Amino acid sequence: MRTKRAESMRPKPLDLQWFHRNEIAATESTDEQLSPVSEMIVGMTEMSLAAKGDGSLQRRSSEPLELCIFLPDQRGLQFTVAEGRQANAHQFIALVWAELGLEKEMTQRTLALWMCSPLLSIQLKGHHVPFKLRKLWPHLLRRYANASEEQIFQDEPLLMVRRNVMLTTDQEVQFDSEPKLLELLYLDAKDCTLRGYRPFPVSDYTRLAAIQMAIEWGPFDSKIHTLNFIRDAVEDFFPEHVLSSIRGWSLFGWTISGCARAEAAIMEQYEDVSDLPVKELHKRYLQLNRQHPGYGSAVFFGQIEQRGRWRTRNAPVIVTINCFWLTVVDQTSRVPLLTMSIGRTKWCCLEGAQGDDPFLALLFPSDDYDSRLKRMVVIASKQATFMEALLDSMATAQEGRSNGNSGRLDEAYETFFKNRTDLIVSAVFDLRDGVCLEMPDRLRERWLQSADHVREPNDYPLEQCAT
């Protein structure tokens, strides 16, 4: 016979239909509906036309537009475009292909036009008009970036050629025989690596740095490339968060004997690869990057609730999304916190309570050995709608692929990218019984406040979830 106390302690049913509604919406959405940028451009343009009339806009649209499109290494290509205020991203990027002598059909699958600044980076669709987007940039920053009005006023986005986020690594490998394209992919990978968006073990960072040195410095020369020379240049070849692990200790400018092992390893590996052809070096750099679950990702920023010794705290995180993986990295320590296969994850974006950022809720397997248990974490971010839209696009694209990389993590990285759920506040569900086994108070409160915005009369209340 079940007692009243036992009955009250029993986990109650939990409704997860927000995730299911999201899944259905994703399959029914068109490509245009999945683009928050497109929606804002259309809305703001219509408001502008209604307020000002379109006569002056038509007169100015016929004037030539001077612009600069940057490559990943910050080299700029200058163009003067007739009626450039009306030209779309597809037309602009075609100018770049012609200038660089690249085959158009092959290149447009591999690279894309981005609008980037320190506050926000957006991959443009072919129909987006960069001039209009630039005029609306302050509005985009207010909606999707955590920035002050002064930062927004001073922000100056650049048009850049970067890797297409929808490109899989299997597709990319097919273009390894094209030297110019290979170089652009290398430059993009190097930029993301040095920014620290893709945390590697230090040993891999050393290999990447040695390859980069061979590309930029050429053959090893023992008279020039000494330990002190390498030590002085280390900042150009490693992201900031690993410099303390690489640099040898010094006293009054002199390296202490026995404390320069990392620099000696860099010099040795540089010497080993320095005589290889540049094309082969580009390939090797990319091959190592392609093993990383964050390779080729779009990068977003948010906050996640982390456990502390005495209490939880909201910690800034970097979120990366590519064709197969979503990763969450601690922005301060650059420690990987979560690495999730998109094919095994569900998600939904909900508005936060008044004054709070929206959040992306992620539901994923809690344990590889028990498919019944699922964990839910939430990432608070103004860019949550961007993340949701991209995840929807990636899931739809996965359904259309019959073969190729299924998103399995390379064995060498399984330990490094193991989910650190012990560091993160999360809820746990048992899908077999349809109950919530654990829901921390702050997570429950945040979920309920946001779910109220979309709850329907027939929804089971989440208040019934037992902790």
Instruction: Determine the pLDDT at residue 252.
Output: 41
- pTM, entire model: 0.84
Measured at the alpha carbon of residue 161, what is the angle toward residues 160 and 165, in degrees to the nearest 5? 110
Q: Which two tokens stand for residue 361?
A: 């809720």
* Residue-level pLDDT at 274: 94
Using DSSP's 3-state secondary structure scheme, residue 371 falls into strand
Nearest Cα to 322, choosing from 130, 156, 163? Answer: 163
- pLDDT (0 to 100) of residue 440: 74
**Percent of residues, the chain, with pLDDT higher than 90:** 53
Q: Report the distance separating Cα 425 and Cα 440, nearest Å.
A: 7
Torsion angles phi and psi, residue 67, rounded to 5: -150, 165
pLDDT one-digit tens code per residue, 207-236: 999 999 999 999 999 999 998 899 889 999
**How does pLDDT run across 402-458, given as a tens digit for each residue?**
655 556 777 778 889 988 988 888 888 887 777 778 877 767 776 666 655 444 433
Please, which residues have CB within 8 angstroms of residue 254's CB and are 6 or more apart in sequence? none
> What distance in Å separates the CA atoms of residue 136 and residue 133, rounded to the nearest whole number?
5
Instruction: Pinpoint the residues of the chain covered by CATH 3.10.20.90.
Output: 31-165
Q: Are 317 and 303 in contact (CB under 8 A)?
A: yes
Q: Where in the chain is the domain with CATH 1.20.80?
A: 201-290
Q: What is the three-class DSSP state of 116?
A: strand
Q: What is the pLDDT of residue 225?
A: 93
pLDDT, the chain, mean:
81
Provide φ and ψ at 334, rounded to 5°: 60, 30
Q: Which tokens belong to 407?
A: 């998103």
pLDDT given at position 464: 38
**Alpha-carbon distance 147 to 349, whole Å?**
21
SS3 of residue 13 by DSSP? strand
335: tokens are 């420690």
Q: Is 80:66 a contact under the CB 8 Å cutoff?
A: yes
DSSP bridge pairs for 317:
302, 330
Fold designation for 31-165: Ubiquitin-like (UB roll) (3.10.20)
3-class secondary-structure state, position 158: strand
Residues 6+ apart with CB under 8 A from 402: none
Label residue 60 by pLDDT band (50, 70, 90): low
CA 429 to chain centre: 27
CA distance 459 to 13: 11
CA distances from 9 to 5, 365, 430 (A): 6, 24, 15
Give me the pLDDT at residue 457, please: 36
| CATH entry 1.20.80 includes domain 201-290 | yes
Architecture of domain 294-464: Roll (2.30)
Closest to 327 (Cα-Cα) out of 304, 353, 308: 304
- DSSP for 72-90, please give it: TTS-EEEEEETTTTT--HH
Task: Give start-end residues of each CATH 2.30.29.30 domain in the chain.
Answer: 294-464
